[in-house]
Amino acid sequence: MSARLKTRSAFANSSRLVNHMQRLLNHRNVMAWLTTISIAFYLLFFIDRGSIPHDEGLLGQSAERVVQGQWPHIDFDDPYTGGQAMLHAVAFKLFGVRSYSLRIVLYVFAVAFACVTYAVAARISPPWLASLLTWLSIAWSVPNYFAGLPSWYNLFLAMFGTYALIRYDETNRRTWLVIAGCLGGLSFLFKLSGLFFIAAGVLYLVYHEQERSRVENHSDDEQPTSKRFFTAFCAALLLCFMGLLVVFIRQRTTSMDVLLFVLPSIFLSIFLVSNEYRHGRGHSVERLKSLTLSVSCFVFGVAIPVSIFLIFYASQSGLDAFIQGVFILPQKRTQFADYPLPGLESLLAILPWILLLIIPYILKLFTDSVWWVAVALLIATVGILLGREQAIYAIVWNSVRPLVPVATLLGCVSLSNCRGEQDQASGPNRRVTFLLIAMAAMVSLVQYPYSFGIYFCYAAPMVALAVAAVVRTQPDSPLGLHFGVMVFYLGFAMVCLNSGAVQRIGVAYVPRNNTDPINLDRSGLIVSPSQAELYQRVIEEVMSHSRPGEAIYATTDCPEIYFLSGRKNPTRTFYEFFEADFQAAPQVRVERIASMLESSDINVIVLHWQGEFSGDLPTEIAGGLATRYPNVMHFVRDPINRPTDNPVFSVAWRDPEPKPLPKP
């Protein structure tokens, strides 16, 4: 009898424990804190790891020039809008002039991003699933390249703005529209691609107005008055939007570019016009006033930070320079900083995803059983273990990158089939679903024209949330299998992406080898042994022939040389292809550079023989510089094992002319 009572007591205790865990997993605030704290701890392992030297040099040098009193676009050619350089200048003031200081700021924003991502995910899923979605979003983003580039801040601010728009949807307070607009304006001040969030916000407001009028006039069964006028207005607005998008990608229009960057916007535009034609209700004049008021509040928010920023440029008579640097000069980036998408054959990898998304009713017959979910998790485990193999890695990556047009199309179809909020009682409401797929479609444009693998990571969290919203809108979606898929992609990211080299992300798994610190005062980063040794030797050589604060000349595409050595850049540019005479005859450039070297009294030059964007250093320029700087030291990447390799850098100098002694 005693043993039986003990057994019953044990079962009762275990049952209470299970119930307590279930309540814990479904408690929104508890899961929010657990998720944010665990992610904050996880990100600490990446904060000082890895470096793409020219990126760190660009970030550091632009911030240092602001600290010195220079203005982006007026005194130097900032490749971005300029707000990031000012934020990083504050970081240097607070934490010291070194690359690690910039990553402290990125870390703070990344933790806030995780917190807000959870808040957004909790609107489309239960707390435990929102936590998993947040982890998935983080694993596919910041840890893959922990550098303070503006595209990360575009992503962060887009997520913050998305939450503000959701709060507007929940409270109907236009203050949230102004806040969302301010976040969009700040995003623009970091990088021009912040406009993508603003475009998504306007699309959402159009749909929000459609839904508002439909709900408020739900009992009106008569044909709405002046329906054609508002439908035509929406069509004209969306036609202008599509025209701007076509102009944006006009310089490279491959089939994959159209599929990934244009098709989602076409789906959204067709859906909005169709939705207005089918369900539009209310008087057009009143609806136009309502939409204009909402968009005006949003645009007013955008204008607040941008106007404050431009006041300073107006005070310096620098508005023309700002416009030239932000809207005209970046057009060169599409010519020289170009990286194509993979070919159409890569789309084969997404077919299983499409199957899982488009035929939930058929799959439901097989996925109600827990055994099928267990099989999915087993396959996911095997896939994670084999994910570092070249073929598996490529398939997994290519199965995710083209998800945006699929999610956008299926999201629009799901919203078209939903007749009201009651059809989505267990999932996100219609407006939040549309907002997320619009954000995914627009934010993904950051991949154009430099479609390098890491650029997908700048949009991956929005894509994950959009796919989750679409899945939750499907009434018979195989949620168990989708859960297994989510676990697989989370494991793949943590095992294969977070530990891989950023230079090969999306192509093949190459393990990171970040073991050695760069023993320079201005670094604070841990990189590969070869990179650490190379830059230490080059910078020490530069410093041995120049004084702190003295000007040197470094070319091609090596702004890190100026920053790490603490020497001044005598030019306006960080990358040579931004120079006005970059495509001029080599001899013309040689004469211009020689004149600049003499007028700036430069005694040390650094030759980087192969630039990331500007290409190989022209032999005419190298030869012209060599005649003026006879002393030279070459630096190869691996001097011990491969001493005969072509040099990566060459440091050349001339003995400065002795200055006359002051007269007594």
How far is the C-alpha of 471 from the C-alpha of 411, rounded, in Å? 9
pLDDT at 380 over 90: no
- What per-residue confidence (pLDDT) applies to 331? 76
Same domain (yes/no): 261, 220:
yes
Percentage of residues in the chain with pLDDT exceeding 90? 60
Same domain (yes/no): 477, 532:
no
> Which of 504, 538, 563 is a domain's end point?
504
- What per-residue confidence (pLDDT) applies to 111? 98
Same domain (yes/no): 180, 233:
yes
- What per-residue confidence (pLDDT) applies to 421? 46
Mean pLDDT confidence for 393-397: 93
- What per-residue confidence (pLDDT) applies to 241? 87
Mean pLDDT confidence for 279-303: 89
pLDDT per residue as tens digits for the range 6-39: 555 554 554 554 454 455 555 568 899 999 999 9
Q: In Å, what is the CA distance from 551 to each residue of 269, 305, 342, 563?
A: 53, 35, 42, 11
> For residues 38, 41, 42 and 44, what is the CA-based torsion angle, rounded to 10 degrees?
160
Mean pLDDT confidence for 228-233: 76
**DSSP secondary structure code for residue 605 in this structure:** E
How far is the C-alpha of 476 from the C-alpha of 155, rounded, in Å? 32
- Residue 513: inside a domain, yes or no? no
- What per-residue confidence (pLDDT) applies to 382? 77
- What per-residue confidence (pLDDT) applies to 619? 87
From its phi and psi, is residue 336 left (phi > 0), alpha (psi between -120 and 50) or beta? alpha
Give which of 447, 441, 449, 438 is closest to 404, Cα–Cα. Answer: 441
- What per-residue confidence (pLDDT) applies to 18? 44
More confident residue, 165 or 612: 165
- What per-residue confidence (pLDDT) applies to 202? 95
Same domain (yes/no): 458, 586:
no
Mean pLDDT confidence for 453-459: 96
- How buried is 590 (Cβ within 10 angstroms: 0-12 exposed, 13-18 middle, 19+ buried)? middle
Strand partners, 610: 616
- Residue 231: inside a domain, yes or no? yes
How far is the C-alpha of 102 from the C-alpha of 31, rounded, in Å? 29
pLDDT at 137 over 90: yes
- What per-residue confidence (pLDDT) applies to 118? 97
- Residue 281: inside a domain, yes or no? yes
* Residues counted in the chain: 664
Task: Give the Cβ contact number of residue 602 at 10 Å.
Answer: 23
Q: Where are the beta strands (DSSP E) in 549-656?
A: 553-555, 604-608, 610-611, 615-616, 631-635, 649-653
- What per-residue confidence (pLDDT) applies to 424? 45
- What per-residue confidence (pLDDT) applies to 384? 81
Same domain (yes/no): 265, 381:
yes
Residues 6+ apart with CB under 8 A from 380: 484, 485, 487, 488, 491
The CA angle 362-439-336, to the nearest 5 degrees, is: 115
pLDDT at 360 over 90: no
- What per-residue confidence (pLDDT) applies to 5? 54
Q: What is the DSSP annotation of 582-597?
A: TTS-HHHHHHHHHHHH
How far is the C-alpha of 155 from the C-alpha of 113, rounded, in Å? 9
More confident residue, 232 or 528: 528
Residues 585, 604: contact at Cβ < 8 Å?
no
How far is the C-alpha of 492 from the C-alpha of 139, rounded, in Å? 9
- What per-residue confidence (pLDDT) applies to 554? 96
Same domain (yes/no): 44, 119:
yes
Average pLDDT over the chain reads: 87
Residues 210, 280: contact at Cβ < 8 Å?
yes
- What per-residue confidence (pLDDT) applies to 425? 42
More confident residue, 405 or 374: 405
Same domain (yes/no): 123, 194:
yes
More confident residue, 377 or 221: 377
* Highest mean pLDDT of the ranges 165-169, 326-330, 362-366, 510-514: 165-169
- Residue 114: inside a domain, yes or no? yes
How far is the C-alpha of 80 from the C-alpha of 409, rounded, in Å? 32
Residue 633, classed as helix, strand or coil, is: strand
pLDDT per residue as tens digits for the range 94-117: 999 999 999 999 999 999 999 999
Same domain (yes/no): 189, 318:
yes
Residues 115, 28: contact at Cβ < 8 Å?
no
pTM for this entry: 0.92
Rg (CA), the chain: 28
- What per-residue confidence (pLDDT) applies to 100? 97
- Residue 48: inside a domain, yes or no? yes
For the record, the structure tokens of 413 come out as 């179809």
Q: How many domains does the chain contain in total?
A: 2
Percentage of residues in the chain with pLDDT exceeding 70? 88
Mean pLDDT confidence for 258-283: 88
pLDDT at 467 over 60: yes
- What per-residue confidence (pLDDT) applies to 423? 44
Mean pLDDT confidence for 351-357: 82
Q: In Å, what is the CA distance from 239 to each residue of 235, 265, 456?
A: 6, 11, 27
Residues 206, 237: contact at Cβ < 8 Å?
yes
**DSSP secondary structure code for residue 74 in this structure:** T
Same domain (yes/no): 293, 179:
yes
For the record, the structure tokens of 336 come out as 């020289």
- What per-residue confidence (pLDDT) applies to 13? 52
- What per-residue confidence (pLDDT) applies to 419? 54
3 state SS for 519-561: CCCCCCCEECHHHHHHHHHHHHHHHHCCCCCCECEEECCCHHH
- Return the axis-axis angle of helices 127-139 and 99-121, rounded to nearest 10°: 150
Same domain (yes/no): 563, 627:
yes
Same domain (yes/no): 116, 168:
yes
Lowest model confidence (mean pLDDT) among 106-115, 394-403, 617-626: 617-626
pLDDT per residue as tens digits for the range 319-348: 999 999 898 887 777 677 788 899 899 899
More confident residue, 276 or 426: 276
Residue 305, classed as helix, strand or coil, is: helix
Q: 437 pLDDT band (50/70/90 cuts)?
A: very high
- Residue 347: inside a domain, yes or no? no
- Helix or strand holding residue 516 (H, E): strand 516-517
> Which of 441, 470, 504 is a domain's end point?
504
- Please give the residue range of the domain that contains residue 28: 19-340+352-504
pLDDT at 223 over 70: no
pLDDT at 140 over 60: yes
- Residue 2: inside a domain, yes or no? no
- Residue 512: inside a domain, yes or no? no
> Which of 460, 488, 504 is a domain's end point?
504
Same domain (yes/no): 539, 604:
yes
ω into 53 cis (within 30 of 0):
no
